[in-house]
Structure 1
Amino acid sequence: MEPPPRIKRRHFLKTSIAVAGAAMAGPQIVRAETLGNANKAGAASRIGIGFIGMGLISDGHLKTFAGMKDVQPIAVCDLRKQQVDKAVDILKSRGHQGILATSRFEEVLANPDIDAVCVTTPDHWHAAIAIAAMKAGKDVYVEKPMTLTIEEGKLMVEAERKYGRIVQVGSQQRSTVHFRIAANLIRNGLIGEVKEVYCRLGEFPKPPEKEEFAAVPDGFNYDRWLGPTPFYEYSENRVKSSYGGGWRCYWDYGSRKFGDWGAHHFDIVQWALGRDDTGPVEFVPKGFRGAEYHHYRYADGITVWRDRKPDHGHMIRFIGTEGEVHVSRGQIATMPKELVRHRFTDRDTQVMESKDHRKNFIDSIKSREPTICPATVGRRSATICQLAAIAERLGQELRWDPAAETVVGNPGAAAMESRPRRSGYELPSIG
């Protein structure tokens, strides 16, 4: 079966208005006959999903969501034709036919059979697509960091509340057992008062001083990839999908390592300290007045250090007055050693339990209960990454008011809470 034809503008506008008017409704049930999957077991009551951005991380999302019996893939979208074709082939190999293949995310959002979208573009496109999706009545799984700017984070929360949508930010460490154990140990005071936290982020190479410009490859909409960011001549490195660099090296599209590993580890620090509704008050970049490490502090003095040693071989080291917790993906250790075997009871404080980040999203779509990492949480964690990046870029200490959510006493830094957007790539209005 051939993919459906491109949706005409009149149909797009009509559908967008209709879907936005039903924004508060729960998930639609897509009939198997409509999707051409009537012969597949359990296909009669599935949540329709569209995938926007088919880069590195999307491969896992595509295969995992497509393998869930209560999820039906309907559309894939990317600005590179070869990525779209690859995604369609993957879904076809798993028995999914009639997939909408497009380079326009608007076509995905206009499809009335789609209940949810998975947004895995580079950071500079997260907010615009996610807000438009919520406005169109879709629930949203959006990769971390949730937004490129602080201002975008505020708008994401406003949209989440305004349209009553389910949002899951891809901070999947919250859905793994070792980070959950660490959070519970710390929340219950089992290492005493936390004084310091070490977070290992690593380094990215700097962008090349002289880009090697080239012709834009066929089948790639480079201007739209740049989207709201400034225009530059095309270079392969600028748009390269790479966990070790590529577009992640450029301030235009992210917050470098702060938005990469920082978005994961700072999020766990927030969670473990019970501060999902607040944030730090001071950010100090490496080198400022002799500072050996970048760090930030909370109002009670807890200091979070970037790449400080020793980290005892772990991604995050929590240091308390009566012990320590060291945690990484797949492992956890404590001081004293026996603390890791502590058995929690109903009398203990325990964080929300999710054993599968993607499944938690689907379960929340059904229940209409918040995910383990909604926009209200993703906004706070992303803000830390963005403030750390601003401090580093300016080479200045920053003061932050987490209640008012604004930079204090530094107009230059305050101006960087948002960024100019190219004409034609404005954020969707929230009305």
Structure 2
Amino acid sequence: MTDHQQHQRDRRLFLKGSAAIGGAMLSRTVMGDTSSEASSDKPASANETQRVAIIGVNNRGSALAKGFIANPDSDVVCICDVDSRAAEKAANMIEERSQRRPEIETDIRKVLDRAEIDAIVVATPNHWHAPATIMGCAAGKHVYVEKPCSHTAEEGVWAVEAARKHDRTVMMGSQRRSWPAVIKAIEMVQSGRIGKAAYARTWYNNRRPSIGHGKQVATPDWLNWELWQGPAPRQSYLDNLVHYNWHWKWRYGNGELGNNGIHMLDLARWGLEVNHPNRVTAGGGKYRHDDDQETPDTMMVTYDFPESKSITWEGISWSPLGPFDSQVGVSFHGSAGSLVILGTGYTLFDDHNKEIETVSDSGGDTTHIAEFLDCIESGRRPNADIAEAHRSTLLCHLGNMAYRTQSTLQVDPKTGKPQNDSNAQSMWGREYAKGWKPQV
């Protein structure tokens, strides 16, 4: 065995071991009820190396491509993007790092027709997340989908159904679920280290610029605008939409709540061991810029759960200072102390606010990608399984419903659906372009 082969073998074993340890810790601490989340008995993949296609390679997609390239259990063989510039740039990067140039496609349907592809990574705009996931499952592919896992609540339900119907590993990119120090922090909250935990505060602060007022112009020759819109109802191309400002348009995005709030809400729900709320309220507005942004730049949401627990979310897109001098985080509050997760670690406090310990660890995508690949091979459910992903993403949808209807949502805690509010119920799903409605 050459030194290079030995290194690859050692690295493979290390990454698998990390994923297995993380999965074991998670199973022990957060999956006490296995009735709906039990591990699948499906056989391991016949391919030791998973052949992966990255769908959407601007920003997040390129970062994930690097992570999959670095893992010896995967090979990025195809990329798909409606932006020819981004596709070429990503292909060059992958070739430089892996000494293999991936195939380039523009249409996801052509990717899904390729039998040699085992898994897809969905890093598109939000309105594509669930349709691509559902289409991927139906084509027999495993799916790693970026957050949020759906653009509407209904799509989240469909994505779970598709994963189960086609027996596919489907995992959301909530990578904090694979960070060792964060796993330990959640275990402490759940084990009673801070007493009875009844409240979690989540926040994300930033200073985002104005998106201005868009103008209808000719579509750039490097962009396939028809495929970019995909499932969304058609509209003319605007010069201030691609590639990031779509986040602030309800037609394509979910505002900051769905953009970054999902990460913190996922941790809060995980730590408090709650599923669906029974009441949701929201306040805030668009205060900073006079521009085309439709989603709020200032938002506060309160989620009350039937277990007598609550979660709050604060998002401010024009002032970067958040609690604990941090732009992003989550704090858990219990009868015997508090615990704050910031970045890749946590700080534990007693009930007099005295710091007991601070722990930090490495973060990033590495362990989360290893978890995804290990679950494909082993058949067990991932720590960010699509069912868990949907429950957390649903909090974002409910918060946006409460904000947009300016009402207090009464929610069925069994289904997560708003009750006795026709306006909110109309936002459970959305309209699709002809021929693009997902079919489970």
Q: Could you say which TM-score interval applies, normalised by the shorter chain? A: 0.7 to 0.9
Pick aligned residue for 2:341 from 301, 312, 327: 327
Give the Cα separation in 2 of the matches to 1:321 and 1:234. Answer: 53
Give the Cα separation in 2 of the matches to 1:358 and 1:258. Answer: 24
SS at match of 1:384: helix
SS at match of 1:356: helix
Report the counterpart of residue 191 of structure 1 in structure 2.
194
The more displaced of 200-209 and 417-426 is 200-209
| Superposed counterparts of 1:112-191, under 5 Å | 112-191=115-194
Q: Which amino acid aligns with 1:88?
A: A
Answer 1 or 2: which has greater strand percent. Answer: 2
SS at match of 1:113: coil
Task: Say how many residue pairs are matched.
Answer: 372
TM-score by length of 1: 0.81
Pick aligned residue for 2:96 from 85, 93, 96: 93
Asked if the contact 2:338–2:348 (Cα under 8 Å) also holds between the matched residues in 1, the reply is yes
SS at match of 2:144: strand
The more displaced of 192-201 and 385-394 is 192-201
Stretches of 4+ aligned residues off by more than 4 angstroms: 203-209
Asked if the contact 1:266–1:384 (Cα under 8 Å) also holds between the matched residues in 2, the reply is yes
Q: Does 1:312 align with 2:324?
A: yes
Report the counterpart of residue 84 of structure 2 in structure 1.
81
TM-score by length of 2: 0.79
| Superposed counterparts of 1:214-233, under 5 Å | 214-233=217-236
Report the counterpart of residue 251 of structure 1 in structure 2.
250
Pick aligned residue for 1:107 from 106, 110, 127: 110
Q: Does 1:282 align with 2:294?
A: no
Q: Alpha-carbon deviations, 1:143-168, whole Å to 9, x = none?
A: 01100111111111111111110111
Asked if the contact 1:27–1:115 (Cα under 8 Å) also holds between the matched residues in 2, the reply is no
Q: Which amino acid aligns with 2:58?
A: G
How far apart are 1:339 and its partner, in Å? 4.5
Sort the Cα spacing of 1:361 and 1:259 in 2 relative to 1 into closer, same or farther, 3 A.
same
Give the Cα separation in 2 of the matches to 1:25 and 1:163. Answer: 14
Give the Cα separation in 1 of the matches to 2:401 and 2:181. Answer: 31
How far apart are 1:181 and its partner, in Å? 2.3
Sort the Cα spacing of 1:142 and 1:394 in 2 relative to 1 into closer, same or farther, 3 A.
same
Give the Cα separation in 2 of the matches to 1:334 and 1:374. Answer: 28
Report the counterpart of residue 289 of structure 2 in structure 1.
none
Report the counterpart of residue 364 of structure 1 in structure 2.
375
Q: Alpha-carbon deviations, 1:105-145, whole Å to 9, x = none?
A: 11111111111111100110011111111111111100011
SS at match of 2:76: strand
Q: Does 1:260 align with 2:254?
A: no
How far apart are 1:223 and its partner, in Å? 2.1
Report the counterpart of residue 298 of structure 1 in structure 2.
305
Give the Cα separation in 1 of the matches to 2:179 and 2:387. Answer: 20
- Over aligned residues, Cα RMSD in angstroms? 2.5
SS at match of 1:230: coil
Give the Cα separation in 2 of the matches to 1:91 and 1:197. Answer: 40
Sort the Cα spacing of 1:204 and 1:375 in 2 relative to 1 into closer, same or farther, 3 A.
farther
Asked if the contact 1:126–1:146 (Cα under 8 Å) also holds between the matched residues in 2, the reply is yes
SS at match of 2:95: helix
